């Protein structure tokens, strides 16, 4: 099969499309013919090996996993003898384990991996752009967002942020989205009640307060956001920083305003599957829609990585079949 392979850390050019052996499913495995996969911020970090501390996870001297890609949409091609949950021909969306492998024509996953039926009303590229469950886990489980509350999403045009804006509305909150000038209309269309342009104003000085600040971009801090948090407000970010790692246990023990970080990617597969099912329901009901910055065929995956380096809004998708 063809796959995007990288054997050394470096710029987008380290990724080459090569012929590699097609994975063989074991008794409990499912082989999925991948139609579309995202090229995510995590893929960029794993490819570049930057920041350097990320190599503790991705491989100290060279990449541990040579085929990247975690989120995929495709069709079940083969199943092992012990597989009961899925059948050949099922259209699915899913998330690989920490070992990646979705930037390829086929990916092998365990039947208990994060998998759900593809939303019927979306093509494969659109479906995979909904897969990142980070925003859902953050808003529901960590922020415990309730109807009538207020949330500010900093980085509202990105892959996690665009989902957070829509899910915030779904949970009945009033949503303020922060992004750059070219993306104000997009964020408004996604359902934000208010949009702020970070190139023109600093939301921490705009005089509004919120129950939740979800700093997806990681460009602010708990210290700066304290003044815009309501007395029991929560500051959440998916971007780790030394100060946030320190503030989290401190604010858990003392004070009413909380600083929270979570690595939602490390949640159990069963939890991710449940989230995928909810995301699918919302997509089919038309209350959650994907945001795609661009689609690239597998042959042009290096360009997809270059796009990632320049900065993106929404999701970058690589398609294996040409059809998306
Ligand atoms: N902990 C976890 O489990 C987990 C899971 C997924 C992602 N993450 C992390 O979450 C972060 C966001 O991921 P993503 O996929 O959503 O990234 P993304 O799609 O690249 O989005 C980043 C967004 O940040 C915005 N931005 C850039 N500079 C900004 C600023 N100064 N102020 C406000 N917004 C700014 C950009 O908006 P404009 O384009 O409008 O400028 C862009 O839309 C990444 O660091 C990623 O590694 C963590």
Say whether 134-265 and 2-130+290-319 share the same fold.
no
Phi, then psi, of 187 in degrees rounded to 5? -65, -35
* 133 vs 156: which has the higher pLDDT: 156
pLDDT at 131 over 90: no
As a whole number of Å, the CA-based R_g of the chain is 20
Model pLDDT for residues 253-276, shown as the tens digit of each residue:
999 999 999 777 778 999 999 999
* Cα separations in angstroms, 113 against 30, 269, 274: 9, 5, 11
Q: Return d(Cα 291, Cα 38) in angstroms, integer.
A: 12
Query: Mean pLDDT throughout 12-33?
Result: 97
CA 231 to chain centroid, in Å, comes to 30
Q: What is the pLDDT of residue 323?
A: 46
Query: Mean pLDDT throughout 93-107?
Result: 96
Nearest CA to ligand 1 atom 19: 158
Give residue limits of the domains in the chain.
2-130+290-319, 134-265
Q: Which listed CATH number (3.90.180.10, 3.40.1350.10, 3.40.50.300, 1.10.260.40) goes with 2-130+290-319? A: 3.90.180.10
- Quote the ligand 1 centre to 215 CA distance (angstroms): 9
Query: Mean pLDDT throughout 292-305?
Result: 98
- Quote the ligand 1 centre to 113 CA distance (angstroms): 26
Model pLDDT for residues 195-226, shown as the tens digit of each residue:
999 999 999 999 999 999 999 999 999 999 99
Ligand 1 atom nearest to 132, measured from its CA: 6
pLDDT at 139 over 90: yes
- Quote the ligand 1 centre to 158 CA distance (angstroms): 5
Nearest CA to ligand 1 atom 45: 239
Q: Is the peptide bond prior to 182 cis by the omega test (within 30 degrees of 0)?
A: no
Residue for token pair 């380290």? 14
| CATH fold group of domain 134-265 | Rossmann fold (3.40.50)
């Amino acid at each position: 099969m063809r796959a995007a392979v990288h054997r050394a850390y470096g710029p987008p050019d380290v990724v080459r499309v090569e012929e590699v052996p097609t994975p063989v499913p074991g008794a409990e495995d499912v082989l999925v013919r991948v139609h579309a996969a995202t090229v995510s911020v995590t893929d960029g970090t794993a490819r570049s090996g930057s920041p350097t501390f990320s190599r503790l996870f991705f491989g100290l001297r060279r990449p541990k996993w040579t085929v990247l890609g975690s989120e995929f949409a495709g069709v079940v091609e083969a199943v092992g003898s012990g597989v009961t949950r899925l059948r050949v021909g099922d259209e699915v969306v899913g998330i690989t384990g920490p070992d990646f492998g979705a930037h390829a024509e086929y990916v092998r996953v365990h039947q208990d991996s994060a998998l759900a039926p593809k939303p019927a009303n979306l093509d494969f590229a659109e479906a995979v752009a909904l897969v990142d469950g980070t925003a859902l886990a953050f808003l529901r489980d960590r922020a415990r967002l309730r109807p009538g509350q207020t949330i500010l999403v900093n980085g509202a045009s990105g892959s996690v942020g665009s989902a957070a804006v829509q899910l915030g509305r779904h949970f009945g909150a009033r949503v303020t989205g922060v992004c750059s000038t070219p993306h104000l209309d997009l964020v408004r269309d996604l359902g934000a009640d208010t949009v702020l342009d970070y190139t023109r104003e600093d939301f921490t000085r705009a005089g509004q307060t919120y129950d939740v600040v979800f700093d997806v971009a990681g460009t602010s801090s708990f210290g700066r956001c304290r003044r815009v948090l309501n007395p029991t407000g929560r500051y959440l970010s998916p971007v780790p920083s030394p100060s946030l790692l320190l503030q989290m246990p401190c604010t858990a023990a003392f004070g009413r305003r909380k600083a929270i970080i979570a690595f939602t990617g490390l949640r159990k597969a069963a939890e991710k599957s449940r989230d995928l099912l909810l995301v699918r329901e919302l997509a089919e009901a038309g209350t959650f829609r994907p945001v795609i910055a661009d689609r690239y065929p597998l042959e042009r995956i290096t360009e997809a990585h270059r796009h990632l380096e320049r900065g993106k809004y929404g999701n970058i998708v690589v398609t294996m079949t040409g059809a998306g």
